[in-house]
C-alpha cells in the first residue's frame, strides 16, 4: 500500500485533501504544524478529525519570532470583507513569509522517515494567484529539491507532491467534500479564533462563497 503524508490544518481544504488521500487507498499519516498562529482552534479540530478517522497524527511546531504576517501578529488587523477579485490578485497581510516552504520541508522530513510515496498538500488556485509558494512551478521545483536533498531521493525514490485541489473552485471543494462524507462541522477556516466564524476574514468569505455556490448550508453557521 502506498503511503501519504497529509499536511493537515483542520481547515476545509486540508480536510478534504486528507479524506481524498484515504479514498485513493493511501495509508495516510496526518501532519499538523503549529507555527505561532493567532489561535489553535484549527489544530484542535484537526486532532478531533484525525482521531475520528483513526489516522496517525503528528504535531510539529515551528517558531517564527520575526512574525511578518497578520496571522502571527495580533497587533496587525486581519483584512476584512475584501472583494473576491482583489482577494485572488493581491498578496494579503495573512501571507506568512516562507510558511509553505517550511511546511513542505517538515513534510519532506516526515515522508523520508516514514518512507512515504507522496505528500498531500491542499494548495488551491485561489491561493496560488496570491501566494507564491502555492504555485505549480514552485511545487515542481520542490519535488526536485527532495530528489536532490534526501537520502531516499539519492537512492532513487521520488516523493510526489499531490495537490488535488489546485485547480478546484471552493464550490468544487465543498462538493468533493460532500461526496467523501467530510464532516464539515468539524472543520475550521476562520483566521480569527472566536467561538463562531467571524464571517468577514478572507477565509470566511471564501468558505461562504463555496458553500453558497454548492447549494449546501455550512453547518458551522447554523
Ligand atoms: Zn473569519
Residue 211 Cα to ligand 1 middle (Å): 15
Residue 203 Cα to ligand 1 middle (Å): 6
Residue 71 Cα to ligand 1 middle (Å): 12
CATH match of 3-221 with 3.40.50.620: yes
pLDDT of 29: 98
Residue 149 Cα to ligand 1 middle (Å): 38
Residue 193 Cα to ligand 1 middle (Å): 8
Residue 198 Cα to ligand 1 middle (Å): 4
pLDDT of 76: 74
What is the pTM for the complete model shown?
0.91
Residue 200 Cα to ligand 1 middle (Å): 5
Stretch (H or E) spanning 144: helix 136-149
Residue 204 Cα to ligand 1 middle (Å): 4
* 41-53 vs 12-23: helix crossing angle, rounded to 10: 20
Residue 110 Cα to ligand 1 middle (Å): 31
Residue 25 Cα to ligand 1 middle (Å): 33
Residue 180 Cα to ligand 1 middle (Å): 25
List of residues 6+ apart from 88 with CB closer than 8 A = 126, 129, 130
Say how far apart CA 68 and CA 62 lie, in whole Å. 14
pLDDT of 51: 95
In three-state secondary structure terms, 217 is coil
Low-confidence ranges of the chain (pLDDT < 50): none
Residue 30 Cα to ligand 1 middle (Å): 24
pLDDT of 213: 95
* Residue-range domain boundaries for the chain: 3-221
Residue 39 Cα to ligand 1 middle (Å): 12
Q: What grid cell was written down for 8?
A: 493537515
Residue 207 Cα to ligand 1 middle (Å): 9
Q: How far is CA 86 from the centre of its chain?
A: 21
Amino acid at each position: 500500500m502506498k503511503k501519504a503524508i497529509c499536511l493537515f490544518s483542520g481547515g476545509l481544504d486540508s480536510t478534504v485533501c486528507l479524506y481524498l488521500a484515504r479514498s485513493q487507498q493511501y495509508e495516510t499519516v496526518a501532519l499538523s504544524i503549529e507555527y505561532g498562529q493567532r489561535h489553535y482552534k484549527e489544530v484542535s479540530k484537526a486532532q478531533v478529525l484525525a482521531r475520528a478517522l483513526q489516522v496517525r497524527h503528528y504535531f510539529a511546531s515551528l517558531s517564527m519570532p520575526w512574525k511578518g504576517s497578520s496571522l502571527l501578529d495580533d497587533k496587525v488587523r486581519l483584512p476584512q470583507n475584501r472583494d473576491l477579485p482583489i482577494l485572488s490578485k493581491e498578496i494579503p497581510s495573512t501571507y506568512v513569509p516562507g510558511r509553505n516552504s517550511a511546511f513542505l520541508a517538515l513534510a519532506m522530513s516526515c515522508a523520508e522517515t516514514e518512507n512515504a510515496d507522496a505528500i498531500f498538500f491542499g494548495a488551491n488556485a485561489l491561493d496560488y494567484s496570491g501566494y507564491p509558494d502555492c504555485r505549480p512551478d514552485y511545487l515542481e521545483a520542490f519535488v526536485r529539491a527532495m530528489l536532490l536533498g534526501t537520502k531516499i531521493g539519492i537512492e532513487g525514490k521520488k516523493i510526489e507532491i499531490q495537490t488535488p485541489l489546485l485547480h478546484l473552485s471552493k464550490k468544487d471543494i465543498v462538493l468533493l467534500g460532500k461526496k467523501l462524507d467530510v464532516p464539515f462541522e468539524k472543520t475550521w477556516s476562520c483566521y480569527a479564533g472566536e467561538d463562531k466564524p467571524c464571517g468577514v476574514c478572507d477565509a470566511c468569505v471564501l468558505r461562504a462563497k463555496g458553500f453558497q455556490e454548492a447549494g449546501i448550508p455550512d453547518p458551522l453557521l447554523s
